[in-house]
């Protein structure tokens, strides 16, 4: 009986093997598809660049007011012992006077300007600096350290901030120099149209990086004279962001967790930010019940009720953006569908700190998608995509040549549809990177897109226009 069972099982296995071999296994060699590069003809179109864009009067007033309010060199007296030097450069420097010396908060991005600020602060309190506290490691908060630090001065930051500084300012320094120049519109300036305004950003070019002398993980406190300084790890702007609480004054230095603009929940050229932790950090701040909220950018907020309202609004707005974006992910929407469908409710959009002067809702959604899910969308073609050049050359050939695409791009540019004009030019550029006219047409649409009250967007578009003209060898 046992022998019969074994024979029967062997027959079944044999039949299955034959079925698999004949239906699922190929013995022929896999065919490889080879792609010849198309010899794309050069454009022979004539192109007359449009008149330079004009900025809307409403944007002018917004920009002028923003520059006047936040970038007029000013030292705010917050209490008898707490001061904020802002408007000298992009990053502000705080000072707390104690009975035994000074504590500085952040260092700005330029050591010469930081030196000037220290000179002005010493007019208020001519005492030695004992501590420098870094809210986080972005260059507009740390590059001024050489002018402020010295023997015996303790520089304190979170351990994660030290790691960020080592990454961003040392082994990724060339990239971050490039990325920040792109952000502030300073790339290939000779190829750009005349700038309407200069953005208030002046980092040291040599980047003399001084690292924190003392670091902590979650919480750290010390006393200096009559003041207590409580430092809390509060991720948000970076993983290593901290906020600083001075209980005697009920004053809170919040770093970049708050400023009067839509929060930069995702900076387009930097790593995604921990938005969920940003919300928790703001909740921790609110629980302290501060009477003074002192950001590293824009004006301080004074008065218990005002601070409470600002923090509650910040939490409510960011929580909304995070929740609806996570819901979009869970509902199977891709990032473009999420951006198309998500809008801020009026009660949030009408709050000044959610005006899109620095961050944007769309960038925030992209950043949350980037952080919370992988790069593959599940639909197959994106898993191992072809180089963009292959698809673009096929499109150009199918449409009937470069000039047909560029003719349409010019029409769209005249109609004011600059985004689509740029994307059509991108197809031509991807198909043939040496095609100059596509870059020139695109650069002028980018000029128009750079006319905005959002400072970051202005810089990004201006830099992109300059780079396209530089590639084309065209000076306006």
- Give 415-455 pLDDT, tens digit per residue: 999 999 999 999 999 999 999 999 999 999 999 999 988 98
In a domain? residue 429: yes
Q: List the CATH number of the domain containing 393.
A: 1.25.40.880
The residue among 298, 318, 336 that closes a domain is 336
Residues 192 and 243 both lie in one domain: yes
Domain limits at 177? Answer: 72-336
Residues 153 and 56 both lie in one domain: no
Q: List the CATH number of the domain containing 139.
A: 3.60.15.30
Cα distance between residue 421 and residue 444, in whole Å: 10
Q: Which residues pair with 81 in a beta bridge?
A: none
Residues 110 and 250 both lie in one domain: yes
Low-confidence ranges of the chain (pLDDT < 70): 1-9, 14-38, 59-60, 63, 196, 199
Residues 320 and 444 both lie in one domain: no
Q: What is the pLDDT of residues 81-114, one digit of tens each?
A: 999 999 999 999 999 999 999 999 999 999 999 9
Residues 56 and 141 both lie in one domain: no
Q: What is the pLDDT of residue 7?
A: 67
DSSP class per residue in 146-202: HHH--TT-EEEEEHHHHHHHHIIIIITHHHHHHHHHHHTT-SSGGGSPPPSS--S--
- pTM score: 0.91
Cα distance between residue 182 and residue 464, in whole Å: 8
In a domain? residue 375: no
Residues 291 and 322 both lie in one domain: yes
In a domain? residue 323: yes
Residues 309 and 319 both lie in one domain: yes
Q: What is the pLDDT of residues 22-67, one digit of tens each?
A: 666 666 666 666 556 667 777 889 899 999 898 777 766 776 777 7
């Amino acid at each position: 009986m046992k022998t019969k069972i074994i024979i029967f099982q062997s027959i079944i296995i044999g039949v299955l093997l034959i079925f698999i071999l004949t239906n699922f296994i190929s013995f022929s060699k896999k065919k490889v598809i080879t792609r010849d590069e198309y010899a794309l003809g050069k454009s022979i179109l004539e192109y007359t660049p449009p008149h330079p864009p004009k900025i809307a009067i409403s944007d002018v007033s917004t920009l002028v007011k923003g520059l006047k309010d936040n970038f007029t060199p000013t030292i705010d007296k917050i209490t008898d012992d707490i001061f904020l030097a802002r408007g000298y450069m992009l990053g502000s420097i705080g000072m707390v006077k104690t009975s035994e010396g000074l504590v500085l908060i952040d260092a700005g991005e330029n050591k010469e300007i930081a030196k000037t600020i220290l000179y002005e602060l010493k007019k208020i309190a001519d005492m030695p600096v004992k501590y420098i506290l870094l809210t986080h490691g972005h260059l507009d908060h740390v590059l001024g350290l050489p002018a402020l630090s010295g023997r015996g001065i303790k520089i304190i930051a979170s351990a994660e901030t030290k790691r960020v500084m080592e990454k961003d300012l040392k082994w990724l320094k060339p990239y971050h120099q490039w990325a920040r120049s792109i952000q502030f519109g300073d790339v290939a300036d000779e190829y750009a149209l005349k700038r309407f305004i200069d953005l208030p950003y002046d980092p040291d070019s040599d980047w003399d990086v001084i690292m924190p002398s003392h670091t902590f993980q979650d919480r750290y406190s010390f006393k200096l004279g009559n003041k207590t300084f409580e430092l809390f790890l509060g991720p948000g702007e970076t993983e290593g962001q901290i906020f600083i609480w001075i209980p005697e004054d009920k004053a809170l230095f919040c770093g970049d967790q708050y400023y009067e603009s839509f929060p930069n929940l995702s900076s387009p050229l930097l790593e995604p930010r921990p938005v969920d932790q940003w919300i928790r950090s703001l909740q921790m701040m609110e629980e302290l019940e501060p009477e003074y909220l002192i950001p590293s950018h824009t004006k301080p907020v004074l008065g218990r009720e005002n601070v409470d309202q600002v923090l509650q609004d910040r939490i409510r707005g960011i929580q909304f953006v995070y929740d609806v974006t996570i819901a979009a992910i869970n509902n199977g929407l891709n990032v473009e569908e999420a951006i198309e469908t998500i809008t801020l409710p009026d009660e949030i959009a009408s709050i000044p700190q959610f005006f899109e002067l620095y961050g944007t809702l769309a960038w925030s959604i992209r950043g949350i998608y980037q952080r919370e899910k992988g790069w593959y969308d599940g639909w197959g073609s994106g898993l191992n995509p072809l180089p963009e050049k292959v698809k673009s050359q096929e499109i150009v050939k199918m449409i009937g040549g470069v000039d047909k695409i560029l003719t349409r791009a010019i029409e769209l540019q005249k109609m004011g549809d600059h985004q689509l004009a740029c994307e059509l030019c991108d197809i031509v550029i991807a198909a043939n990177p040496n095609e100059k006219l596509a870059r020139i047409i695109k650069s002028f649409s980018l000029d128009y897109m750079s006319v905005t009250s959002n400072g970051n967007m202005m810089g990004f578009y201006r830099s992109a226009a300059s780079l396209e003209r530089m590639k084309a060898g065209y000076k306006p």
